[in-house]
Structure 1
Amino acid sequence: MPATHRFLVRFFCLLLGGLLLATSGYATTSSELQAPWNTLLHRYVTPDGRLDYAGLLDEEDELLGYLQGLRKVKPDPQTWPPADTEAFWINTYNAAATYLILQYYPVASINDIRVKVVGGTKTPWEAPVVNVGGQNYSLNQIEREMLRNQFHDPRVHFALMYGAASAPAILAEAYDGARLSQQLDQQARRFLNDPAFNQLSPQQVQLSGLFEAYGAEFGSEAQLLEFVNQYARVPVLPTAKVEYLSFSWALNDRTGLSSSQALGKQ
């Protein structure tokens, strides 16, 4: 079946197939809820933090089942701890983005995907790709409304799976509210100290284009350097020169780009 047709069939099932499921509250523990996604991550995230999409295709039904189960879940700020809510939306974003890519795989870049909707097509960022508690969400909605606007935590950008070769390495486990801060710190430390994505020295830093794209969340240059120093193994001076590296949107498949390609130094 062509990738586009495969996606439409699966997408229809994801958004409409669970209409008879009743919306419920926090009916299960966070770890139980995330267990299927956690298992898939353990199996298909490579040691260098990329994703084996080809292998995951064999278990796409398990991923679909996990996503369909989210129709029964509605994070409630009155009963859910904030960290559980933040972890839930990170996991939802990552699983939905992964499933979307699988429906078009093999694809060179997530940005090449166009999702058919009534009246035309939408980008992978703006198309509704997951239903949570009976409401459809796009990836951009989850990132902006459910994560950035609620939690104001720039570390989330080291956790979201943008499907790009220059994006931070994928954590090989689901995010868990009980350990979320430690997991986000781990991701920030891993990404910032990876010379494939960031080059740090006391006098000069060459940072991933991710920091430039979300500059408003990291603050002024002085605030950005202060943030970097929270995780950098090499201390950076407050007067260090800041430059930004190009960002590769090639798919973060198991066959990765070289360090020079990831940094845009072809």
Structure 2
Amino acid sequence: MHTADTGSDGTALDSPDPDPVALSHEFLRTVKTGGSTHRVASRLRDLDREALAGGLDGDDARLAFWINVYNAAVESLLDAAPETFGDRSALFGADVVTVAGRDLSPNDVEHALLRGARPVWGLGFVRNPFPSAFSARFGVDDLDPRIHFALNCGAAACPPIAAYTRDGIDRELDTATRSYLEQETEYDPDAGVVRAPRLLLWYLGDFGGPSGATRFLREYGALPEDAAPKLRFRDYDWSLETGNFAE
């Protein structure tokens, strides 16, 4: 049986066999409140892999866990060393967290574990045919493109950080997606053009190509249901902005 997803009272740290999702909540809460992450990072590092597999018993748990871990680890690093944001390729490729003895970079968490072993490059149209045993065991089974509106790498254009739960992940990702697209999509019906967030270009294959991206925008209310405009993409604001937590 899983413990509660919150972990906000520290029980995830005290339990001899903590629920991974609760532990990810504790990690995120500690970062948000400016506390020391040493203890929770140690618990993540020392997780037993059988316990991790048991706790991440489906994509709902895997999505919540890895999104929370990504956001907490990156925010923690940038809080401590904001200068690392100046070299983004190094930032995304550097190990920022250890889970069950496995050192992981932001790229590892996003692309191997949350995107189903898809490469950083390739716009989401290519899948790694030889994923690591770790990502095959602990990563999501089915890619959910809404993750792109939940992950925060420290840039001003990133979506705000929220705590995701096993039981509420579908609703929470829907809320994050609708909010981000509402703020970041510009539709000009007279010109027949929509300027979508650049995230949809970078991961175009995740959304099913250009036509899939347009359908996605309609599905989440960023376009009228009968609209079929030309698809353009906005520039991305890479200014550093930490502490962007959802209300």
When normalised by structure 1's length, the TM-score is 0.67
Q: Which residue does the alignment assign to 2:128?
A: none
Q: How many residues align?
A: 201
Q: Which residue does the alignment assign to 2:95?
A: 128
CA gap 1:88/1:129 in 2 versus in 1, 3 angstroms: same
The percent identity for this pair of structures is 27
What secondary structure, in the 3-state scheme, does the structure 2 residue paired with 1:162 have?
coil
Q: Deviations over 1:108-138 (max 9, x none)?
A: xx54148xxxxxxx70111111110011111
Most deviating of 174-183 and 224-233: 224-233
Q: Distance between the aligned counterparts of 1:208 and 1:187, measured in 2?
A: 14
Q: Distance between the aligned counterparts of 2:187 and 2:158, measured in 1?
A: 17
Shift, 1:91, TM fit: 1.0
Match of 2:187 among 200, 210, 215: 200
Conserved in 2, the CA contact under 8 Å of 1:164 and 1:249?
A: yes
Q: Which residue does the alignment assign to 2:119?
A: none
Q: Which residue does the alignment assign to 1:156?
A: 147
Which one-letter code corresponds to 1:100 in the other structure? L
What secondary structure, in the 3-state scheme, does the structure 2 residue paired with 1:177 have?
coil
Which one-letter code corresponds to 1:163 in the other structure? G
Match of 2:63 among 80, 83, 86: 86
Alignment partner of 1:224 is 2:238: no
CA gap 1:80/1:72 in 2 versus in 1, 3 angstroms: farther
Which one-letter code corresponds to 1:112 in the other structure? G
For structure 2, which runs of at least 5 residues remain unmatched after alignment? 1-15, 117-139
The equivalences for 1:1-266 within 5 A come to: 27-29=17-19, 32-40=22-30, 44=32, 59-61=34-36, 63-73=37-47, 74=49, 75-76=52-53, 80-105=57-82, 107=83, 111-113=85-87, 123-149=90-116, 150=140, 151-171=142-162, 174-194=163-183, 197-202=184-189, 203-232=192-221, 234-235=223-224, 237-253=226-242
Q: Distance between the aligned counterparts of 1:142 and 1:167, measured in 2?
A: 16
Shift, 1:60, TM fit: 4.3
Shift, 1:248, TM fit: 1.2
Which one-letter code corresponds to 1:131 in the other structure? T
Which one-letter code corresponds to 1:133 in the other structure? A
For structure 1, which runs of at least 5 residues remain unmatched after alignment? 1-25, 45-55, 115-121, 256-266
Shift, 1:236, TM fit: 5.1
Alignment RMSD, CA only?
2.7
Q: Distance between the aligned counterparts of 1:160 and 1:154, measured in 2?
A: 11
Q: Distance between the aligned counterparts of 2:166 and 2:188, measured in 1?
A: 34
CA gap 1:170/1:236 in 2 versus in 1, 3 angstroms: farther
Which one-letter code corresponds to 1:215 in the other structure? L
